[in-house]
Structure 1
Amino acid sequence: MTELEAAFESKFAVNGNVKLHYTAAGSGPPIVFLHGFPDHGMGWRRQMQALCSRYRVIAPDLRGFGQSDAPQGYGNYVLANLVNDVLAVLAAEKLTQAAIVGHDWGGIVAWWLAIRAPQVVRHLVLLSTPHPRNHLNAIADPANAEMIAYIRSFQAPGAAQMLNIDELATWVADPQDRQALTDSLRRSSPEAMLGYYRANIPLGKVPSLGQLPLVKAPTLVLFGTDDPYVPVSAFDGTFREVDNVTALIALPGAGHFIHHQAAKFVTEQVEAWVERPPSSFRHLA
């Protein structure tokens, strides 16, 4: 364990009957990092270590993952509950607002947090995650059937019993980080992790989301051009969903897990985005 890792605090928040573990470090303006599948809060280790000298960095294990509770039943994993989990973490930290950074499912939660509780999102940063409308449209598009086949396989009965934890961690190159993820996934609930797909992505026809409030926070979207799980076209038109400055950055040749594959670049982009006062985005000159 490095000196920086020793400074990480292991803490808990509570949303109703669900106890949520999170890791925190540093002091200063708060940044909340939301992980996806298959990942955990400490999947943001590199960003947290780089930023904790200037920011209060906070990374929950989403419900069902790591040391957080995993309530039984897919209904526990609907997006309203996941958004409330983030609000519970903010409350535990006595925060009324924070910069929110999300990847994969954490990115989807981050989008919905910015849509449903705009007052708490100071800046919004998404990694490899299109706006929910564009994401569902991409899933519904027959042209993407091969790319999103993994989602349908995760929704199949008995899929949780087929998960291979060691295989799920192979995307992490660093041996220490891979072992930490493997250990965390072994503590996680396979049914819960796949419950995200069952609870929030329709099994049949994908409905239109209709009119949604525009995101108010300045929004930065980073994605890899070679992401095997998300079509690049799903990021088209993102600016139409945001009533603020919106920036999209494509990382040539990068895949889905860009917070690892391009860790330093991602950290630099996050810091450059969140260090600017939100008001400054409104008055570009």
Structure 2
Amino acid sequence: MQVNSETGFESRFAANGGVKLHYTAAGSGPPIVFLHGFPDHGLGWRRQIEALQGRFRVLAPDLRGFGRSDSPQGHASYALMPCLIEDVLAVLAAEGISQASVVGHDWGGMIAWWLAMRVPQAVRRLVLLSAPHPRHYLRAINDPANAGTIDYIRRFQGVAGAILPTPEELASWVADEAERQALAEALRRSHPDAMLGYYRANIPLGKVPDIGPLPLVRVPTLVMFGADDPYIPAGAYDGTFREVDNVTSVVAIPGAGHFIHHQAAGFVSREVEGWVTRPPSSFRPLG
């Protein structure tokens, strides 16, 4: 373990079989796991870690294929079930905990949804950022009306290594220069084919079939998205309440785009803290 003397952030590793997973840890208290998306890394949650480490044990892994985590070969190594879900469980096991609140952005949100459905005992509270429920995300991809919004997905499913911009270009969405350089460095460590493996392993080519019956999410669920997100249609969130059998809140953030953990960092941190600290009785219906 390495500790940054300025931030107090710990650099740790977990293992899922032969895959080594790097994660950042900080603070003590009830655990919260933050799962990043594309193109990002664990320290993309820096502002949330700094805001919450005084009250919580905050864990932010580099997803496999990103940053300092391993990049196993083959697109099948990036399937949500079981690979990516098991990675999260490996981080929990490395910390000696069996349950945590889980916050996910983009692909991290997809992992969080599936974790809550398939391993419900591991999730205490669920927070999704820019991540519709998988059923409605796939339906949005199928909708011809959204072709201009989601055509990047089909580009990412093309020839390996031929379509990704440079790390500096991929990091250009980060406004803060130091954080942008940190992300660019993490993306230089990342494997391009591994990052694209998320799109190739989990989104079918051609017409996307309906994924059929899925378990309802049973934990209190907060969904936040930017009203100006250029990558995910707002209509993809319309069916959220039918997928959760518990108190559910869907919040659109005016003026924000896809990367709301940066663009509305303070708001996101406060909402996460409020959601995970609400007493269980306040989530139960009256009567």
User: Same-fold call, TM > 0.5?
Assistant: yes
Q: Is the 8 A contact 1:33 1:102 kept in 2?
A: yes
User: Normalising by the residue count of structure 1, what TM-score does the alignment of the two structures yield?
Assistant: 0.97
**Structure 2 residue corresponding to 1:238, chosen from 228, 237, 240:** 240
Aligned match of 1:208: 210
Q: Is the 8 A contact 1:44 1:59 kept in 2?
A: yes
In 1, Cα distance between equivalents of 2:248 and 2:30:
21
DSSP-derived class of the 1:146 partner: helix
Shift of 1:259: 0.2
1:32 correspondence with 2:33: yes
Pairs within 5 Å for 1:1-285: 5=7, 7-80=8-81, 81-160=83-162, 162-283=164-285
How many residue pairs get aligned? The number is 284
Shift of 1:253: 1.6
Q: Is the 8 A contact 2:130 2:224 kept in 1?
A: yes
Shift of 1:276: 1.4
In 2, Cα distance between equivalents of 1:189 and 1:160:
13
Where in structure 2 are there 5+ consecutive unaligned residues? none
Q: Is the 8 A contact 2:129 2:260 kept in 1?
A: yes
Shift of 1:112: 0.3
In 2, Cα distance between equivalents of 1:165 and 1:12:
24
Residues 39-75 of structure 1 deviation map (CA, whole Å, 9 limit, x = unaligned): 0000000000010010000000000000000001000
In the alignment, residue 166 of structure 2 is paired with which amino acid? N
In the alignment, residue 36 of structure 1 is paired with which amino acid? G
Residues 229-252 of structure 1 deviation map (CA, whole Å, 9 limit, x = unaligned): 000000002010000000011001
Shift of 1:277: 3.1
In 1, Cα distance between equivalents of 2:53 and 2:265:
15
User: Normalising by the residue count of structure 2, what TM-score does the alignment of the two structures yield?
Assistant: 0.96
In 1, Cα distance between equivalents of 2:286 and 2:4:
41
Per mean C-alpha deviation after superposition, the further-off stretch among 190-199 and 157-166 is: 157-166
In 2, Cα distance between equivalents of 1:267 and 1:158:
36
Shift of 1:3: 5.6
Residues 203-224 of structure 1 deviation map (CA, whole Å, 9 limit, x = unaligned): 1120111111000110000001
**Structure 1 residues 4 and 113: CA distance shift in structure 2, 3 A:** farther
**Structure 1 residues 247 and 4: CA distance shift in structure 2, 3 A:** farther
In the alignment, residue 185 of structure 1 is paired with which amino acid? L
In the alignment, residue 206 of structure 1 is paired with which amino acid? V
Q: Is the 8 A contact 1:160 1:190 kept in 2?
A: no
Residues 121-149 of structure 1 deviation map (CA, whole Å, 9 limit, x = unaligned): 00000001000000000000010011001
In 2, Cα distance between equivalents of 1:257 and 1:161:
21
In 1, Cα distance between equivalents of 2:107 and 2:286:
32
DSSP-derived class of the 1:27 partner: coil
Q: Is the 8 A contact 1:111 1:131 kept in 2?
A: yes
Q: Is the 8 A contact 1:163 1:190 kept in 2?
A: no
In 2, Cα distance between equivalents of 1:113 and 1:27:
23
Please report the RMSD computed on the Cα atoms of aligned residues, expressed in angstroms. Answer: 1.4
Q: Is the 8 A contact 2:167 2:185 kept in 1?
A: no
